[in-house]
């Protein structure tokens, strides 16, 4: 079926079921993007032949060497901000009411390191550990502060609290590592991760609450003065201290927190007759909620934590296209359109997926997210040339790659009241269209979205792949938490994600311009609505383990927009287990380790059954043919 026939079929389908067969309202007119006249309300195929793509200009500028990867707080980020501000000025966008500048600063932690933490263990018992004996550990391989630790010195008795996991009562699943323990004013020792031998569904629940910040919070709420974390001998990375992760918190977590090595834990457990850490972990690994922790008598722990945090300043870029007629009396008189413009710099903060030979090179971030930034600028340019019933907020966020901190800073101190925003449209990685598929996530934030999207898509003709979930690792999550109906658009993942190879020459500019046309139609509909989308709170899914809970690394890049029965691969990470097993983009995994795979959640469950270094059989479909291979998972650090 040709695209023209496809659009006719869409229009016919859209008319069915409406009173008297009246067609859906489509606004017809022309918008200008750069030198291109784009028909709104008709099939949008990108810019006409010979015209200049405005999005290409933006992407090639933002993803150039000049901007050095646009790391938040860097000189490259500031140069990118200057470029964006200049483009906003060109289209006639203004700073927000009451603001003299488009740039809105926010402070963040650019990195943290251990400044020399120490741990002393004093024994009061007899026998092997005579009264008054003590040991002090100061090497980072033995004791290392966690990135969210408070600074200071804590002294107290020690309580072992198993895996330190507390599942909220609302989950209707009884598991509380502190149920029988008194940890007030004491030091708590917990295992990293979660029970190794639990059933698959149990693991999925426990994994959601195994993040070390959650564990620290649970200990603090019960009165503990400090928390120590050890990676048990039955777990991946057994006995190793936890690497100090990139953490954007400006302050600690309210208590001292450190990881200790297996050697330190062995020294601690030597105070307990007939118990070893491995045996204790094994008793906990069934996830039996009645297996309790215990106080370790005769020990006094002195923990001194030093976390050095480097604070820097990033900048959001905020502008407004004011309503062309005063929006007096109009409910929620703002429509917001946004994207993050920051990226990874040279990839030194831990989230780079660069191959060994690519390490340290500029991560250009053409798709992630120069494409989204270019889309917002082009949408703004088109809307600036039209009448507007509502104000249009253009938000270009920084700090997304380090934890959504730019949009979160805006939500914490909004320069536009959040309850005055009718809707927020987010664009993140929209430059690598595959098979006409456009992912639309967070449609669960309003029951109005399916109809609005269907109407706007009559002209665009995308194969929309919708998802209810608003809890995405992008700025849409901030607006969802603030109670704003929102959508986020993406053309999906690919093998260049978070690598220096995400370059401007790989962007599909014709389809990126089509996304812009679709978004302009959608924004105009939102501007004109009397009955605005009502916000609906979506309960966060309990399916699948959290990213923090997944310990194995397979090197697969899922295609989240796919409706294939199985896990469609959007790519594989170079040098990773999947590539070594012969898997490649376009393969559909239908079985791994004997577990059938029908979707991303099945795959996440199955990962918890894998063992580091132990080969497993993978069955996948390529070109309609079922193929088997062996994949050997490695450890996720």
Look at residue 601 in the predicted model and tell me its pLDDT. 64
Nearest to 358 by CA among 497, 219, 208, 156: 497
More confident residue, 345 or 29: 345
Of the candidate ranges 21-25, 92-96, 403-407, 496-500, the one whose mean pLDDT is the lowest: 21-25
Pairing of strands 187-191, 103-114: unpaired
Q: How far apart are CA 463 and CA 324, in angstroms?
A: 34
User: Which tens digit of pLDDT belongs to each residue from 140-174?
Assistant: 899 999 988 989 999 999 999 999 999 877 667 88
Cβ contact 81:554 at 8 Å: no
**Residue-number span of the structural domain to which 573 is assigned:** 549-635
Q: Give the tokens for residue 232.
A: 């048990």
- Mark whether 250 and 383 lie in a shared domain: no
Q: How far apart are CA 145 and CA 113, in angstroms?
A: 8
Q: How far apart are CA 457 and CA 289, in angstroms?
A: 51
Q: How far apart are CA 38 and CA 388, in angstroms?
A: 18
Q: How far apart are CA 388 and CA 322, in angstroms?
A: 8
Total of domains in the chain: 3
Look at residue 80 in the predicted model and tell me its pLDDT. 98
More confident residue, 556 or 513: 513
User: Which tens digit of pLDDT belongs to each residue from 10-42?
Assistant: 222 232 232 222 223 333 344 444 444 444 433
In a domain? residue 448: yes
Total residues found in the chain within this entry? 637
Exposed e or buried b per residue across 68-91, where buried means at least 16 C-beta atoms within 10 angstroms of its C-beta: bbbbbbbebbbbbbebbbebbeeb
Burial category of 22 from C-beta neighbours within 10 Å (exposed 0-12, middle 13-18, buried 19 and up): exposed
Q: How far apart are CA 511 and CA 636, in angstroms?
A: 35
Per-residue pLDDT at 602 exceeds 80: no
- Mark whether 410 and 331 lie in a shared domain: yes
Which H helix or E strand runs over 290? none
- Mark whether 283 and 320 lie in a shared domain: no
- Mark whether 493 and 627 lie in a shared domain: no
Last residue of a domain, one of 256, 282, 305: 305
CATH number of the structural domain spanning residue 566: 2.30.42.10
List Cα–Cα distances, 415 to 120, 403, 555, in angstroms: 49, 21, 41
Average pLDDT across the chain, whole number: 85
Q: Give the tokens for residue 1.
A: 């079926």
Burial category of 623 from C-beta neighbours within 10 Å (exposed 0-12, middle 13-18, buried 19 and up): exposed
Beta strands in 22-64 (DSSP E): 29-33, 36-40
Sequence-ordered list of residues with C-beta below 8 angstroms from that of 269, at least 6 positions apart, any chain: 275, 276, 277, 280, 296
In a domain? residue 445: yes
Averaged pLDDT, 481-492: 94
Sequence-ordered list of residues with C-beta below 8 angstroms from that of 2, at least 6 positions apart, any chain: none
Sequence-ordered list of residues with C-beta below 8 angstroms from that of 161, at least 6 positions apart, any chain: 177, 178, 181, 183, 188, 189, 190, 219, 293
Last residue of a domain, one of 468, 494, 528: 528
Mapping DSSP to helix (H, G, I), strand (E, B) and coil, where does residue 268 land? helix
Phi, psi of 553 (to 5 degrees): -120, 120
Look at residue 557 in the predicted model and tell me its pLDDT. 79
| Biggest distance spanned by C-alpha atoms of the chain | 92
- Mark whether 271 and 334 lie in a shared domain: no
Pairing of strands 307-321, 143-145: unpaired
- Mark whether 153 and 78 lie in a shared domain: no
- Mark whether 383 and 468 lie in a shared domain: yes
Strand partners, 31: 38
Burial category of 184 from C-beta neighbours within 10 Å (exposed 0-12, middle 13-18, buried 19 and up): exposed
- Mark whether 37 and 97 lie in a shared domain: yes
Nearest to 319 by CA among 90, 94, 565, 480: 94
In a domain? residue 486: yes
More confident residue, 541 or 209: 209
Which residue's structure tokens are 């609290």? 161
Per-residue pLDDT at 396 exceeds 90: yes
Of the candidate ranges 20-29, 251-260, 305-314, 393-402, the one whose mean pLDDT is the lowest: 20-29
In a domain? residue 543: no
Which residue's structure tokens are 């062996």? 630
Cβ contact 383:523 at 8 Å: yes
- Mark whether 347 and 472 lie in a shared domain: yes
CATH number of the structural domain spanning residue 75: 3.40.630.10
Distance spanning both ends of the chain, measured CA to CA: 48
Look at residue 610 in the predicted model and tell me its pLDDT. 80
Rg (CA), the chain: 27
Q: Give the tokens for residue 331.
A: 């409910």
In a domain? residue 127: yes
User: Which tens digit of pLDDT belongs to each residue from 249-292?
Assistant: 555 677 999 999 999 999 999 988 888 999 999 999 999 999 99
Per-residue pLDDT at 45 exceeds 80: no
In a domain? residue 255: yes
Of the candidate ranges 142-156, 172-186, 201-215, 539-553, the one whose mean pLDDT is the lowest: 539-553
Look at residue 420 in the predicted model and tell me its pLDDT. 96
Structure letter (DSSP) for residue 627: E
Which H helix or E strand runs over 438? strand 437-441
- Mark whether 416 and 521 lie in a shared domain: yes
Which H helix or E strand runs over 257? strand 256-260
- Mark whether 338 and 447 lie in a shared domain: yes
Q: How far apart are CA 362 and CA 432, in angstroms?
A: 20
CATH number of the structural domain spanning residue 128: 3.50.30.30
3-state helix, strand, coil in the chain (%, to 5): 30, 25, 45
Last residue of a domain, one of 493, 528, 563: 528
Cβ contact 603:568 at 8 Å: no
Look at residue 11 in the predicted model and tell me its pLDDT. 29
Sequence-ordered list of residues with C-beta below 8 angstroms from that of 302, at least 6 positions apart, any chain: 119, 120, 122, 153, 154, 155
Q: Give the tokens for residue 5.
A: 């026939």
Q: How far apart are CA 216 and CA 225, in angstroms?
A: 10
- Mark whether 339 and 298 lie in a shared domain: no
Burial category of 629 from C-beta neighbours within 10 Å (exposed 0-12, middle 13-18, buried 19 and up): middle
Q: Give the tokens for residue 207.
A: 């994994």
In a domain? residue 537: no
Phi, psi of 162 (to 5 degrees): 60, -130
Q: Is the peptide bond before 369 cis (omega within 30 degrees of 0)?
A: yes
In a domain? residue 186: yes
């Amino acid at each position: 079926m040709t695209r023209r026939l496809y659009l006719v079929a869409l229009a016919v389908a859209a008319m069915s079921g409406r009173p008297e067969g009246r067609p859906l309202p489509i606004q017809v007119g022309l918008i200008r993007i750069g030198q291109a006249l784009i028909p709104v309300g008709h099939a949008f195929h990108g810019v006409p032949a010979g015209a200049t793509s405005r999005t290409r200009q933006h992407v090639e500028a933002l993803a150039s060497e000049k901007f050095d990867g646009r790391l938040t707080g860097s000189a490259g980020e500031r140069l990118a901000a200057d470029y964006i501000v200049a483009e906003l000025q060109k289209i006639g966008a203004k700073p927000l009411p009451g603001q003299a500048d488009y740039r809105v600063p926010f402070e963040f932690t650019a990195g943290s390191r251990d400044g020399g933490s120490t741990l002393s263990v004093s024994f009061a018992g007899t026998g092997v550990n005579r009264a008054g004996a003590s040991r002090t550990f100061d090497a980072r391989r033995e004791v290392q502060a966690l990135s969210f630790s408070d600074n200071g010195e804590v002294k107290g008795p020690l309580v072992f609290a198993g895996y330190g996991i507390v599942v909220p009562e609302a989950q209707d699943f009884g598991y509380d590592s502190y149920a029988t323990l008194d940890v007030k004013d004491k030091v708590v020792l917990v295992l990293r991760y979660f029970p190794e031998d639990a059933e698959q569904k149990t693991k999925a629940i426990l994994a959601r609450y195994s993040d070390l910040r959650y564990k620290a919070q649970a200990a603090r709420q019960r009165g503990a003065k400090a928390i120590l974390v050890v990676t048990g001998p039955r777990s991946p990375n057994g006995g190793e201290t936890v690497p100090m992760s990139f953490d954007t918190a400006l302050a600690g977590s309210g208590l001292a927190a450190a990881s200790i090595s297996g050697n330190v834990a062995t020294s601690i457990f030597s105070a307990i007759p007939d118990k070893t850490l491995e045996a204790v972990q094994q008793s906990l690994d069934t996830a039996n909620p009645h297996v309790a922790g215990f106080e370790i008598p005769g020990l006094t722990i002195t923990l001194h934590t030093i976390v050095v945090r480097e604070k820097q300043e990033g900048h959001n870029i905020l502008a407004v296209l004011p309503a062309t007629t005063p929006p007096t009396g109009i409910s929620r008189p703002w429509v917001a359109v946004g994207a993050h413009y920051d990226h990874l710099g040279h990839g030194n903060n831990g989230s780079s997926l660069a191959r060994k030979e690519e390490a340290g090179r500029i991560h250009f971030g053409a798709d992630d997210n120069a494409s989204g930034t270019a889309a917002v600028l082009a949408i703004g340019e088109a809307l600036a040339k039209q009448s507007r019933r509502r104000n249009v907020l253009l938000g270009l966020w920084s700090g997304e790659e380090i934890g959504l901190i730019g949009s979160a800073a805006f939500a914490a101190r909004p320069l536009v009241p959040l309850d005055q925003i009718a809707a927020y449209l987010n664009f993140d990685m929209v430059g690598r269209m595959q098979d006409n598929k456009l992912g639309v996530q967070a449609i669960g934030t309003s029951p109005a979205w399916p109809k609005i999207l269907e109407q706007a898509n009559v002209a665009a003709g995308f194969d929309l792949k919708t998802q209810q979930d608003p809890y995405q690792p992008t700025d849409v999550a901030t607006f969802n938490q603030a109670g704003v109906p929102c959508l986020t658009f993406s053309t999906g993942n690919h093998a260049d994600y978070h690598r220096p190879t995400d370059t401007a020459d790989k962007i599909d500019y014709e389809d990126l311009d089509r996304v812009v046309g679709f978004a302009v139609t959608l924004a105009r509909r939102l501007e004109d609505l009397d009955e605005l989308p009502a916000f609906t709170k979506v309960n966060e899914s309990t399916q699948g383990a959290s990213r923090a809970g997944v310990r194995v690394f397979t090197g697969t890049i899922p295609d989240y927009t796919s409706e294939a029965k199985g896990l469609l691969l959007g790519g594989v990470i170079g040098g990773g287990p999947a590539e070594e097993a012969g898997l490649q983009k376009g393969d559909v995994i239908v079985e791994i380790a004997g577990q059938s795979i029908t979707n991303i959640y099945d795959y996440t469950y199955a990962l918890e059954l894998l063992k580091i270094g132990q080969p497993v059989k993978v069955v996948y479909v390529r070109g309609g043919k079922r193929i088997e291979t062996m994949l050997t998972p490695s450890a996720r650090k």
